[in-house]
């Protein structure tokens, strides 16, 4: 039986490629092929640029309140279609429906609403210079490219397009080739909401299509989410035309559990930060540092809750809270890390195997896995695994914990669990990470800027400051008196 086929979404409609090249998308929960998607060949790529260029002329001068009104409609449509969109995300990503229904679409809609509301607040300045004066205009950049990872496909497409479109830019978005559906669904919703054709085009393909976007001379900015190694290639390529870049990359984030922490809350944070979305979250606290005096209590509760409360299975089952790895190669990578953990002397406390749930045979499942007695030099403690593998490390005092937490080239997130408010601030201020939580983990509201320190990123998403990253300032000097000249 032939599979359903999706095409690139250009200038408000689906567009066929000429090459006939397709990518087959698998459902990670079953391992079965679910649809084919056409790769953006040169014809599609040229059409995407032409349509974006033409759409930019009108969208850039559309009054901000009008842009806001349209984007608010898009957010409302996302909410209206929440359940159906969540199911598409589950089929593409293998994450549990109970998560996708509560988080993925909603947090995308929130960010569109947030930037829609901010759009009309963009104002320039004016200053008198004693007769002459100047004023500034906040102008959009032009055509922006968005390149997404596979873990939060529709959310990433919303987070990148919302500030870009609100500020009057247009975007060509390339989702991950493993999860292309969410961006296509968003493109359809934008059209239904009244976003003009060409303002949000979707091109499909792997790294080659991504690289084409990062090199193209008509593109002013690239906002990228993915691995550090890919991010480096994107920055290098974008440098050839001096594009602006936003980089949302990987992490190896620390959670510090002090002796005065509420242990149940600390276990909740550690589990959320390792097992939500089956461990495929960039901000995960995969290095859990626990004060030696509370290690036993922490481990007892952690192991009990991990073995009793996590249910892997068909991600579409609303009672399942733990899904499948994105692909077989990714599952193999995660299993390799688990083997390295064992070989290098970490103590496997629970998990460590693949699983084949009765209702999801053929899916790419790895058990929630916890290693204790970890040391800083182990591979599983140093490298991002992007799977459900938690490393627990013991520490003796605050300075030691801070030093070891910071001992990584990455700096995406960090957290502190303590009842001591002074310590909470003192420690958080010394941690080298862009996204920090105290007595909490994982929440990322539209209002809060997110992004990485060190090699985890450049620039921010969400929050007021992000809108500025999608505008450029034009200064206009107004001569009101006679222009003096020595010539
Ligand atoms: P990836 O780097 O393999 O791919 C990301 C995207 O880049 C895909 O669309 C891919 O097709 C494209 N790509 C590949 N090569 C390219 C090239 N040379 N030029 C341009 N584009 C190219 O990442 P992934 O495996 O899809 O996602 C997992 C990674 O993403 C993890 O490292 C994770 O930490 C990170 N991530 C970060 C954040 C964040 O906000 N910081 C959020 C989600 C995921």
183 alpha carbon – ligand 1 mean position (Å): 15
Residue nearest to atom 1 of ligand 1 (CA): 226
Condensed to tens digits (0 to 9), the pLDDT of residues 270-298 reads 999 999 999 999 999 999 999 999 999 99
Structural domains in the chain, sorted by start: 5-250+456-474 (3.40.605.10), 254-438 (3.40.309.10)
pTM of the model: 0.98
461 alpha carbon – ligand 1 mean position (Å): 15
Report the pLDDT averaged over residues 390-400.
98
Please give the sequence-ordered ranges of beta strands (E in DSSP) within 292-433, or none if there are none.
Answer: 347-350, 354-355, 365-366, 369-372, 389-395, 410-411, 413-417
Is residue 248 annotated as part of the catalytic site, yes or no? yes
Pocket of ligand 1 (CB under 6 A): 147-151, 174, 176-177, 206-207, 210-211, 214, 225-227, 230, 233-234, 248-251, 282, 384, 386, 412, 452, 457
Question: For the chain, what is the mean pLDDT?
Answer: 98
pLDDT at 461: 98
Which contacts of 80-87 are long-range, i.e. CB under 8 A and separated by 24 or more positions? 81/105, 81/185, 81/189, 82/106, 85/154, 85/182, 85/185, 87/316
Per-residue pLDDT at 1 exceeds 80: no
Ligand 1 atom nearest 233 alpha carbon: 18
pLDDT at 417: 98
Residue in this structure with the two tokens 């830019």, named with its chain if needed: 169
173, 204, 211, 226: which to mutate for ligand 1, most atoms within 8 A of CB?
226
Report the pLDDT averaged over residues 479-486.
95
Other beta carbons less than 10 A from residue 120's beta carbon: 15
With cut-offs at 50, 70 and 90, classify the pLDDT of residue 111.
very high
Return the H-helix or E-strand segment holding 201: strand 200-202
């Amino acid at each position: 039986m032939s599979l359903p086929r999706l095409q690139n979404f250009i200038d408000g409609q689906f567009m066929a490629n000429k090459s006939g090249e397709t990518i087959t998308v698998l459902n990670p929960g079953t391992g079965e092929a679910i649809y084919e998607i056409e790769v953006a060949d040169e014809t599609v790529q040229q059409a995407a640029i032409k349509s974006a260029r033409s759409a930019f002329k009108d969208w850039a001068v559309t009054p901000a309140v009008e842009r806001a009104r349209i984007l608010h409609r898009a957010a409302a449509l996302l909410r209206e279609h929440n359940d159906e969109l969540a199911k598409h995300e589950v089929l593409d990503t293998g994450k549990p429906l109970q998560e996708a229904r509560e988080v993925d679409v909603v947090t995308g809609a929130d960010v569109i609403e947030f930037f829609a509301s901010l759009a009309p607040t963009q104002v320039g300045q004016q200053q008198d210079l004693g007769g002459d004066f100047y004023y500034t205009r906040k102008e959009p950049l032009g055509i922006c490219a968005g390149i997404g990872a596979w873990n939060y496909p529709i959310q990433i497409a919303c987070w990148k397009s919302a500030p870009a479109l609100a500020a009057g830019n247009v975007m060509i978005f390339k989702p991950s080739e493993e999860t292309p559906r969410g961006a296509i669904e968003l493109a359809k919703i934008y059209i239904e909401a009244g976003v003009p054709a060409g303002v949000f085009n979707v091109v499909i393909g792997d790294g080659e299509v991504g690289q084409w976007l990062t090199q193209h001379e008509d593109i002013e900015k690239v906002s990228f989410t993915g691995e550090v190694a890919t991010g480096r290639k994107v920055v290098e390529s974008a440098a050839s035309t001096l594009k602006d870049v936003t980089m949302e990359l990987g992490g190896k984030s620390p959670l510090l559990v002090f002796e005065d922490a509420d242990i149940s809350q600390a276990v909740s944070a550690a589990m959320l930060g390792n097992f939500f979305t089956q461990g495929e979250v960039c901000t995960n606290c995969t290095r859990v540092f626990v004060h030696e005096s509370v290690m036993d209590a922490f481990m007892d509760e952690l192991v009990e809750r991990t073995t009793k409360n996590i249910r892997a299975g068909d991600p579409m089952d609303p009672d399942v809270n733990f899904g499948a790895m994105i692909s077989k190669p990714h599952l193999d990578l995660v299993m390799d890390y688990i083997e390295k953990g064992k070989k290098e002397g970490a103590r496997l406390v629970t998990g460590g195997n693949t699983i084949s749930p009765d209702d999801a045979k053929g899916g790419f499942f790895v058990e929630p896995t916890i290693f204790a007695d970890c040391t800083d030099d182990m591979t599983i403690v140093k490298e991002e695994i992007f799977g459900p593998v938690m490393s627990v490390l013991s520490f003796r005092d605050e300075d030691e914990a801070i030093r070891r937490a910071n001992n990584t080239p990455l700096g995406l997130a960090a957290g502190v669990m303590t009842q001591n408010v002074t310590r909470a601030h003192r420690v958080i201020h010394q941690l080298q990470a862009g996204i920090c939580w105290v007595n909490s983990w994982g929440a990322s509201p539209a209002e809060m800027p997110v992004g990485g320190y060190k090699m985890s990123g450049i620039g921010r998403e969400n929050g007021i400051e992000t809108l500025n990253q999608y505008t450029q300032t034009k200064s206009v000097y107004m001569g009101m008196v006679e222009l003096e000249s020595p010539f």
